[in-house]
Amino acid sequence: MTKRVLIVLQHRDGRLHRMSREAVAAGQKLAAAVGGTASAVLLGAGVGAIAEQAAGYDLEAVRVADDPRLADYTPGGYVGALAPALKSEKPDFVVFPHTYQSVDYTARLAHEVDAALVPEVTGFAVEDGVLVWTRPILGGKLSSRVRVRGEGTVFVSVQSGAFPADGAAAGSARIETLAEAAPAPDREILGVEKAGAEGVDLTKASIVVGVGRGIGGPEKLGPIQDLAKMLGAEIGASRPVIDNDWLPRDRQIGSSGQTVAPKLYLALGISGAIQHLVGMKGSGCVVAINKDPSAPIFSIARYGIVGDLHEIVPALTKALEEAGS
């Protein structure tokens, strides 16, 4: 029987979210692999232009719930909009972009429609007729292969970067109304504020030295600051460094911090969790210094040194001095 794949699109500032396009690429690939068709669904208020944008992909349909109750995202709004159609149509797969918004409501929706949930997948393969999903565990140090048991709809959310957006095939989809949508907003939205104080703009730096929990404490920053000075670099940090107040929040790099793409990024004592990588993997050249040879940061770095950063950092400053750069 033809399998049905539904892709839930997220949008921001009147356009499809970058990760929605990645979800389209994933959903199309999945439909092809399981022998099925892919459609998309779009929720919001006044989203006609975004639906047109989505209709430019090779999809069977773009199904839209355009409703003032969906003007602001709330989990109740989104679950109410999607659950009735999912319950009556029972698609085989629903593909979400793994964004903060999706994570906030997909589990709740899965509960509501009794779907299995495979969060943050990085890939899939049909092995001996069994669909096997790959997802990271332990902060990306390992990956796991999982399968879903039992009948019913399977939800997957796709990790940022796992299914490149340029893999999404263009085409022409019909636009239709999502039936039975009954959004029931369950949060009063009181406002939106900036997370960190205005401060350094790390995106302007051509070299960034990123420090992680592995530096051990704020008292260890001295030699790292010397190195940064020698390089003319700004210092950025992983989240735990900020959470522990070793450096101020405006220096955080990653999914909840700044996104940087300097020509050189030096990662010191950073393991390389995806939430950090999304904030710096566009860098021209990544150098990782970590005492753990299997740290995931090495898989996106061009050069690596395995060892104690407290020994390597001063040596590096000295080597730069000698090289006169």
Partner 1 sequence: MRIAVCIKQVPDTEARLRLAADGRWIDEDDVAFVINESDAYALEEGLRLAEKTGGEVVVVSLGPARVQEALRKALALGAARAVHLADDAYQGGDAAATARALAAALAREQVDLVLTGAQSDDAGFGATGSLIAGQLGWPHAWLVMGVELDDGGKSARVTREMESGLNEIVRLALPAVIQVQAGINHPRYASLKGIMQAKRKPIATPAPDELGLAAGAIGAAGARLEVLSVAFPEAGAGAEIIAGDPATAARTLVEKLQKEARVL
Ligand X SMILES: Cc1cc2nc3c(=O)[nH]c(=O)nc-3n(C[C@H](O)[C@H](O)[C@H](O)COP(=O)(O)OP(=O)(O)OC[C@H]3O[C@@H](n4cnc5c(N)ncnc54)[C@H](O)[C@@H]3O)c2cc1C
Sole binder of ligand X in the list 8, 19, 61, 270 (CB under 6 A): 270
Instruction: Report the Cα 83 to chain-centroid distance in Å.
Output: 24
Is residue 269 involved in binding ligand X (CB under 6 A)?
yes
Q: Which of 254, 226, 201 lies closest to 314 in space, CA to CA?
A: 226
Interface residues for partner 1 in 188-227 (CB under 8 A)? Answer: 188-196, 207, 213
Structural tokens at position 286: 């990544």
Partner interacting with residue 234 (select from ligand X, partner 1, none; CB below 5-8 Å by kind): none
Spell 218-247 as b/e; 16+ CB within 10 A means b. Answer: eebbebbebbbeebebbbbbbbbbbeeebb
Q: How far apart are CA 179 and CA 284, in angstroms?
A: 47
Q: Which of 272, 258, 259 lies closest to 301 in space, CA to CA?
A: 272
Is residue 136 involved in binding ligand X (CB under 6 A)?
no
Sole binder of ligand X in the list 271, 298, 301, 316 (CB under 6 A): 271
Instruction: Report the Cα 24 to chain-centroid distance in Å.
Output: 14
Interface residues for partner 1 in 270-309 (CB under 8 A)? Answer: 271, 284-288, 292-294, 296, 298-299, 301-308
Structural tokens at position 160: 């940022």
User: Binding-site residue total for partner 1 (CB under 8 A)?
Assistant: 93
Coil, strand or helix at 113: helix
User: Binding-site residue total for ligand X (CB under 6 A)?
Assistant: 28
Is residue 292 involved in binding ligand X (CB under 6 A)?
yes
Partner interacting with residue 203 (select from ligand X, partner 1, none; CB below 5-8 Å by kind): none
Minimum separation from the CB atom of position 146 to partner 1 (A)? 5
Is residue 146 involved in binding partner 1 (CB under 8 A)?
yes
Is residue 116 involved in binding partner 1 (CB under 8 A)?
yes
Is residue 33 involved in binding partner 1 (CB under 8 A)?
no
Spell 29-51 as b/e; 16+ CB within 10 A means b. Answer: bbbeebebbbbbbbbbeebeebb
28-36, 147-155, 176-184, 236-244 -> range binding ligand X (CB under 6 A): 236-244
Per-residue mark of binding to partner 1, 59-98 (x: CB under 8 A) = ---------------xxx----------------------
- Cβ–Cβ contacts within 10 Å for residue 125, how many? 11
Contact residues: ligand X, CB under 6 A: 139, 212-214, 238-240, 252-257, 269-271, 273, 275-276, 279, 289-292, 295, 308-310
